[in-house]
């Protein structure tokens, strides 16, 4: 209602009150009204109090490259955020970058990475087509040692955001550190591998997620001891079967040969 409309209505009510009371006309009053704010019921009302997430894989990667959250950053040449497709069937999570990865800023590009690419290809997967590859820690531990808890903890916030943004069908954990850290267990890798475990990612920006997680041996373990090759191949066949069940469009490009 406009200010003029309010003034006219007030004068009408004031005069009617005189008449109903005793017919005696009291001196008029001065009114000071303002226009109401326009309201358009067909337009959506947007609350500024509701935050809009602008998170992205690129934002996470940029923050990783600037991170100084643990001592590992002091010796790095390059942080290694990860690489692959934005909507992967499989999120592959290793332990930490090695010398080749530190030099290039890319995950799994050394000998273990070359073997990993062959392992994934044996079940129709690749980082270029349907996988994203990352690590528990994004900077190289000295002498390729296992990442320490005080190093995985600061990096976990980045990995949690990556999991939420990627929303993979399956997580493939390579090595003891990644499996034990994500599953919050001290169980041996030998006892964890060979079956899927439900990973509850409850703290992602996108909310709670439950994702099938498959632990297996790290490719570097196979390079050290070929006896790990058979159990890893058995795990890859489990992965393949899970993907067939979860995604009808999953196209198997490899045959039944070994990894």
Tens digit of pLDDT for each residue in 62-120? 999 999 999 999 999 999 999 999 999 999 999 999 999 999 999 999 999 999 999 99
Sequence-ordered list of residues with C-beta below 8 angstroms from that of 59, at least 6 positions apart, any chain: none
Lookup result for tokens 């994500």: 182
Decide if 184 contacts 136 (C-beta within 8 A): no
Q: CATH code for 79-246?
A: 3.40.470.10
- Weakest-pLDDT range from 4-13, 26-35, 37-46, 113-122: 37-46
Q: How far from 57 is each of 82, 161, 201, CA to CA, in Å?
A: 9, 8, 17
Q: Which of 35-49, 78-92, 207-221 has the highest mean pLDDT?
A: 78-92
Tens digit of pLDDT for each residue in 123-174? 999 999 999 999 999 999 999 999 999 999 999 999 999 999 999 999 999 9
Tens digit of pLDDT for each residue in 137-150? 999 999 999 999 99
Q: Tell me the average pLDDT across 193-215.
A: 86
Instruction: Please give the backbone phi and psi of residue 9, each rounded to the nearest 5 degrees, phi first.
Output: -65, -40
In terms of Cβ atoms closer than 10 Å to its own Cβ (0-12, 13-18, 19+), residue 7 is middle
Decide if 176 contacts 170 (C-beta within 8 A): no
Q: How far from 235 is each of 128, 132, 188, 205, CA to CA, in Å?
A: 22, 18, 16, 30
Instruction: Please tell me the distance from the alpha carbon of residue 133 to that of residue 12, in angstroms, as a whole number.
Output: 76
Q: Where are the domains of the chain?
A: 1-34, 79-246
Task: Count CA within 13 A, CB hemisphere, residue 152.
Answer: 20
Instruction: Please give the backbone phi and psi of residue 165, each rounded to the nearest 5 degrees, phi first.
Output: -75, -35
């Amino acid at each position: 209602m406009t200010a003029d409309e309010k003034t006219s209505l007030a004068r009408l009510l004031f005069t009617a009150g005189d008449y109903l009371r005793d017919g005696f006309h009291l001196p008029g009053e001065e009114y000071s009204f303002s226009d109401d704010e326009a309201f358009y019921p067909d337009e959506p009302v947007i609350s500024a109090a509701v935050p809009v997430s602008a998170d992205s894989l690129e934002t996470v990667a940029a923050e990783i490259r600037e991170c100084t959250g643990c001592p590992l950053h002091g010796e790095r040449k390059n942080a290694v955020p990860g690489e692959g497709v934005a909507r992967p069937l499989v999120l592959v999570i290793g332990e930490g970058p090695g010398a080749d990865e530190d030099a290039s800023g890319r995950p799994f590009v050394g000998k273990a990475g070359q073997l990993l690419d062959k392992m994934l290809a044996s079940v129709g997967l690749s980082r270029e087509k349907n996988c994203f590859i990352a690590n528990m820690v994004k900077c190289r531990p000295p002498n390729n040692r296992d990442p320490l808890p005080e190093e995985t903890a600061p990096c976990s916030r980045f990995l949690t955001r990556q999991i939420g943004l990627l929303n993979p069908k399956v997580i493939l954990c390579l090595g003891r550190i990644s499996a034990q850290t994500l599953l919050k267990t001290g169980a041996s890798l030998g006892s964890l591998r060979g079956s899927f475990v439900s990973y509850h990612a409850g703290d992602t920006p996108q909310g709670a997620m439950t994702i099938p997680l498959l632990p297996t041996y790290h490719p570097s373990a196979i390079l050290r001891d070929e006896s790990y090759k058979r159990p890893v191949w058995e795990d890859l066949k489990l992965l393949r079967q899970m993907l067939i069940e979860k995604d009808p469009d999953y196209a198997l490009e490899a045959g039944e040969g070994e990894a």
